[in-house]
Amino acid sequence: MIRDAFDAVRVRKNFPALNQKIYGKPLVYLDNAATTQKPKSVIDALEQYYSSENANIHRGIYYLSQQATNAYEGVRARVRQFLNARSSEEIIFVRGATEGINLVAQSYGRTYVKEGDEIVVSVMEHHSNIVPWQMLCDEAGARLRVIPINDEGEILTGEYENLLNERTKLVSIAHVSNVIGTLNPVKEMVEKAHGRGIPVLVDGAQAVPHLKVDVQDLDCDFLVFSGHKMFGPTGVGVLYGKSELLEKMPPYQGGGDMISSVTFEKTVYNKIPYKFEAGTPHIAGVIGLGRAIDYLNEIGMEEIAAYEEELLRVATEALGRVPGLRLIGTARKKSAIVSFVLKEVHPHDIGTILDRQGVAIRAGHHCAMPLMQRFGVPATARASFAFYNTKEDVDALCRALGKVREVFK
Amino acid sequence: MSELEELYQEVIIDHSKSPRNFHALKEANRHAEGYNPLCGDHFKVALRVEGDVIQEIGFEGTGCAISKASASMMTGSVKGKTVTEAKALFEEFRNLFAGESIQKANVERLGKLAAFAGVREYPVRVKCATLAWHTLKAGLEGEGQTVSTELPSTEWEAG
């Protein structure tokens, strides 16, 4: 079986940052929902680009510029393939998922959302999928509607359907929750919204690095993700949009590269995707992202998803045996993100004590304060896994939690 | 002692589990609120100041062990002190986390509060230790103020 052949220990060797000690203890990196470590091939790609390939794209008539343009556009084609989009023109490079959402809010939203209209999000959204819509609503006089969840952290689909009406202009929903790992039924949600002619944006920041995401299968209208959460560089991400929507949307920012011609009387905008890529982009970042996608393709997203599912099972069982520990978010369908609280110990103290054992987790509200309020906790501790984590990492986490108990005895 | 034991001294664990003066104050004439939006810590400090003397002090809220123990021990330390003495004690407390090394005189003047010296080794936790103190200072300087660790208006320690 191929699944058994997956060798996390071997894969770890590709990630230089994982091979270090923190306070004399081997690093156990469990903050992958915040950002992931980078394989050597991605680091090398950045160095190689700046050492011997650096030139600006799309404008140069010399060799280096053409090479850089080819490399940059080559990644666009690979992202298309990775997401199974119909066309490369539907792939827009942005700074990250946050900028992708802001682009849609400012361009699509300001054009089509009017006074009295509604935008639907869920209670488990990251602030980046709340605040851009609030800003839009404030400006347009529109209203943000919130899909509730059950105590396990699952979308209440009946409530969702009830929220959709003739005033709804957009649904924007996380594919996977960054706090509790819930895998939302986005395909079904898209279908329901489309039944009423409502477009859907999927925040894929926590999904694209961990499972096979097919935008044609989901039939979502927009999807965003960040490069740095999928083993690529920071400062680069992708907005996927259906071409028919992108065509009728106005530009997000003005500048070079996004125009066909400029006079002081009139500017003609470039075609998609360039219309949305004003200024010199993060060329090195895009090339690094391309290398990260190559790396993921070599392992295989199905392999990654299957291995992480097994890690989640092991982690959930092991944490369930820790005295006084309560899991926050126990959805039936989950990605490998585990949030928890410990009786009488604040997550911040858990984070500090774990850190001294070399175990890096996140403690806080995880940029999802409404979700904290929903579960009635000020903060949680969160361990989030990637394919380079092992069952030994789970053991180290549990041992470190034993230390917390010792300190707070 | 390991650095962790230095940080989580017995007296700190004790105050975090059983905070003193952990209640609202009916006859209070000064109030302030303090937030650390990054970790969700949130305390309200209420005082009854008569003349120049802090007669009563109480606090409410949630936070980590360090912030809660610090708030609890702070209330014990400033009760009965003048406003000027309380502010001076805060300066003394902040000095515990500043400079190259801990000064002996500093530790002597702080008494029990010197238990927080271990926080020096955890720069990101200094804000936890000083949150209640910043809130107290805001309450002493004006009624109904709110302070936040993430606003530039207050001089927060590096972290």
> Residues B116-128: pLDDT tens digits?
999 999 988 999 9
Per-residue confidence band for B149, with pLDDT thresholds at 50, 70 and 90: confident
User: What pLDDT was estimated at residue B2?
Assistant: 82
Integer CA distances (angstroms), A28 to A6, A171, A239, A328, in order: 19, 37, 32, 22
- Asked if residue B25 belongs to a domain, the reply is yes
Q: A378–B38: do the CB atoms touch at under 8 Å? A: no
Question: Could you give the number of structural domains in chain B?
Answer: 1
pLDDT in tens, A66-91: 999 999 999 999 999 999 999 999 99
The answer on pLDDT for A397 being more than 60 is yes
Please say if A367 is a catalytic residue: yes
- What mean pLDDT comes out for the span B16-40? 92
pLDDT band at B147 (very low <50, low <70, confident <90, very high): confident
Q: Is residue B158 part of a domain?
A: no
Element (H, E) at A224: strand A222-226
Asked if the peptide bond before residue A148 counts as cis, ω within 30 degrees of 0, the response is: no
Tell me the shortest Cα–Cα distance from A407 to chain B, in angstroms. 7
At B157, is the pLDDT very low, low, confident or very high (cuts 50, 70, 90)? low
In chain A, residues 247-286 whose CB comes closer than 8 Å to chain B: none
Average per-residue pLDDT in chain A? 96
Q: Which residues of A touch B7 (CB under 8 A)?
A: 352
Strands A380-384 and A237-241: unpaired
The one catalytic residue in A137, A220, A367, A398 is A367
> What does the pLDDT look like over A9-41, one tens digit per residue?
999 999 999 999 999 999 999 999 999 999 999
| Mean pLDDT along residues B20-34 | 95
Q: Which of A25, A346, A359, A408 to mutate to test the interface with B (most CBs of B within 10 A)?
A: A346
Sign of the C-alpha dihedral computed for residues B133, B135, B141 and B143 taken in this order = negative
The larger pLDDT score, comparing residue A109 to residue B150, is at A109
pLDDT band at A384 (very low <50, low <70, confident <90, very high): very high
Above 80 in pLDDT, residue A302? yes
Residue B155 lies in a domain: no
Residue B144: predicted pLDDT: 79
pLDDT of residue B158: 43
- Which residues lie below 8 Å from residue A196, measured CB to CB, with a gap of 6+? A164, A165, A166, A168
Q: For the ranges A227-236, A320-329, B135-144, which has the lowest average pLDDT?
A: B135-144
CATH of the domain at B8: 3.90.1010.10
pLDDT above 50 for A256: yes
> A324-352: b or e for each residue (b if 16 or more CB lie within 10 Å)?
ebbbbbbbeebbbbbbbbbeebbbbbbbb
Q: What is the DSSP letter of A251?
A: P
Tokens of A180: 């509790």
Is the confidence metric ipTM above 0.85 for this complex?
yes
In a 10 Å sphere around its CB, with 0-12 CB exposed, 13-18 middle and 19+ buried, how is residue B26 labelled? Answer: exposed
Q: Is residue B67 part of a domain?
A: yes
Q: In chain B, what residues touch A348 (CB-CB under 8 Å)?
A: 39, 41, 63-64, 66, 125, 128
Asked if B41 reaches chain A (Cβ–Cβ under 8 Å), the answer is yes
For residue B52, the tally of other CB atoms under 10 A from its CB is 10
Q: Which domains does chain A have, with CATH numbers?
A: 2-30+300-407 (3.90.1150.10), 43-298 (3.40.640.10)
pLDDT for position A3: 47
Length of chain B: 159
pLDDT of residue B159: 36
Chain B contact set for A345 (CB, 8 A): 65
Whether the per-residue pLDDT at B154 is higher than 80: the answer is no
Residue B150 lies in a domain: no
* Burial degree of A112 (CB within 10 A; 0-12, 13-18, 19+): middle
User: Does residue A336 contact residue A319 with C-beta atoms inside 8 Å?
Assistant: no
Specify the pLDDT at position B108: 87
- pLDDT for the residue numbered B151: 65
Residues in chain B closer than 8 A to A378 (CB atoms)? 40-42, 62
Tell me, yes or no, whether B30 lies in a domain.
Answer: yes
Tell me the backbone φ, ψ of residue B50, rounded to 5 degrees. Answer: -120, 125
- pTM of the entire predicted model: 0.93
Contacts from A84-88 at CB under 8 Å and sequence distance 24+? Answer: A84/A214, A84/A215, A84/A216, A84/A217, A85/A215, A85/A216, A85/A240, A86/A216, A86/A243, A87/A243, A88/A273
Percent of chain A with pLDDT over 70: 99
Cα Dmax for chain A: 74
Do the domain assignments include residue B34?
Answer: yes
What are the two backbone dihedrals, phi and then psi, of residue B29, each rounded to the nearest 5 degrees?
Answer: -120, 5
Contact A408 B42 (CB under 8 A): no
Residue A304: pLDDT over 80: yes
Amino acid, res. A406: E
Report the amino acid identity of residue B88.
A
> Phi first, then psi: what are they for A157, rounded to 5°?
-65, -30
Domain of B119, in residue numbers: 3-145
Mean pLDDT, range B136-159, rounded to an integer: 72
The answer to whether residue B159 is domain-embedded is no
Residue A141 · residue A277 · CB < 8 Å: no
Is the pLDDT at A4 greater than 70, yes or no? no
- Taking only the tens place, the pLDDT of each residue in B86-111 is 999 999 999 999 888 888 888 888 99
